[in-house]
Amino acid sequence: MVGANEKEFCYLPALILADMIRKKKVSPVEVTEKFIDRINKVNPSINAFVTLVPEMAKEAAKKAESAIMKKEKLGPLHGIPVGIKDVTLTKGIRTTFASLLYKDYIPDQDAIPVERLKNAGAIILGKTNTPEFAAGASTFNKVAGITRNPWNTDFNSGGSSGGSAAALASGMLPLATGNDLGGSLRIPASFCAVVGFRTSPGRVPGWPNELNWDQLNMEGPMARTIGDIALMLEVMAGPDDRCPISLPVPKDGLDYQKAVRNPSIKNFRVAWSDNLGLTRVDTEVLKIARSSMKVFEKLGCKVEEDAPDFGRIKETALTLRGQRYVALYQDQLDKNPEFRKLVNPLIIGNIEEGLKLSIRDVARADRERSDFWNRVKVFFDKYDLLVTPTVPIPPFTAETLFPKEINGLPMENYVDWGMLTYAMTMTGLPAISIPCGWTEKGLPVGIQIVGRRYMESTVLKAAAAYEKASPWINRKPPLEA
């Protein structure tokens, strides 16, 4: 039976819960009910969930419990509750894309990551909030409203996977999904003191997808611990012909849990950069993030201040962003009279900026990204890891659409404050955000750890070593529930 302290139970790592379920110390039905109760108590003040499916979840939990009693083979996530970001298709569960255009849409198929989580035994509890079409790093929309930060509900949870991050931080879930174009797994992870992992393009197949060859927007895992990220990634990763960019299983397999057991990063060559030469960084955030280098040094790493030459990567990213928005939404903008009336003006602006691009602009961006990779490749011949602050600012107030200044100085445009993560997206390298400290106001700060091409195991090993040396899991938001 579940212990009396419900709140503490809901903060147990998925690895521990899975072991308890296998050993019949707790049943999938009990676990599911505890998390549903937690959601009912906490979600009204945070608004992390858009759609909750308690009856569907309880029915799945009963089947999971029956499988245990019949001694059937159990998946690695058997009986573990999971939340799915509301832009990822879920069969029979409302998927709104955070847009009034789709507020009643119920898909008839699961996306590949959902399919794999369910096949591994996970119990889907519902859909987590996101900005409209996952566009932006502040979670608000006209369907469900604002998702608030569990550490202080006056502040935003970040985005675009803000609902997943807030649900994890507040003990509503042990695992959740997100996706990431310019930082949508990493930014909310930093704002909410959880972990978000953007893996190499194709490591986690994305399908259905209107842009099957897209290597910029990636699905990925979110959790509170590195062990849980490794567990979840083993389930989500692997090839699938429906996704043409999906990667084959590496020669050393997908045993990411092995990488995080007793991790050692002694003699790793680590490059630290305050800002990648791309943006200003809030003074307090920088001080907290830089202090993480002392942890890496104590772990035996050789730390230097260095970064690749990012050149015009900001302009390149914005050009490819504009191209992407045109590809995804131009037809709807032209043909659906409701689109311009109902959709967030920021999205309309992205489409219109994209329509201003010439073929020369797009070709130049493609060439510049190629030249940029050549510089990044040379840089990582020298280093095992690159570490930066994840976000150059602390969480901002909940009603703020996006910050307009850093250290009192105005930004050039609304994506400037996300360039530390967006720039890493342009490299195609695996990048994870982990907690590294708290501001004087008690708001989380994260660091971003970037590894070499396809080296998810190395990134996880470094994150696990840091977690062990400077644990964050015992610190919880000051929620009353």
Identify the residue whose tokens are 């393009």: 201
CB 270 within 8 A of CB 296: yes
DSSP 8-state secondary structure symbol assigned to residue 248: P
* 8 Å CB contact between 456 and 230: no
Query: How far is the CA of 11 from the CAs of 35, 80, 169, 219, in angstroms?
Result: 10, 13, 9, 24
Contact 119, 73 (CB under 8 A): no
Instruction: Map residue 433 onto helix, strand or coil.
Output: strand
Q: Is the separation of the CB atoms in 347 and 133 below 8 Å?
A: yes
User: What is the end-to-end Cα distance of the chain in Å, rounded?
Assistant: 21
Burial class (CB in 10 A: 0-12, 13-18, 19+), 266: exposed
Angle at 413 between CA 135 and CA 351, to 5 degrees: 45
Task: Give the Cα separation of 183 and 173 in Å (integer).
Answer: 21
Buried b (16+ CB within 10 A) or exposed e, 188-225: bbbbbbbbbbbbbbbbbbbbebeeeebebbbbbbbbbb
Helix axes 226-236, 456-469, angle to 10 degrees: 160
Q: How many residues does the chain have?
A: 481
Task: Report d(CA 235, CA 114) in Å as an integer.
Answer: 10
The residues annotated with a catalytic role in the active site are: 85, 160, 184
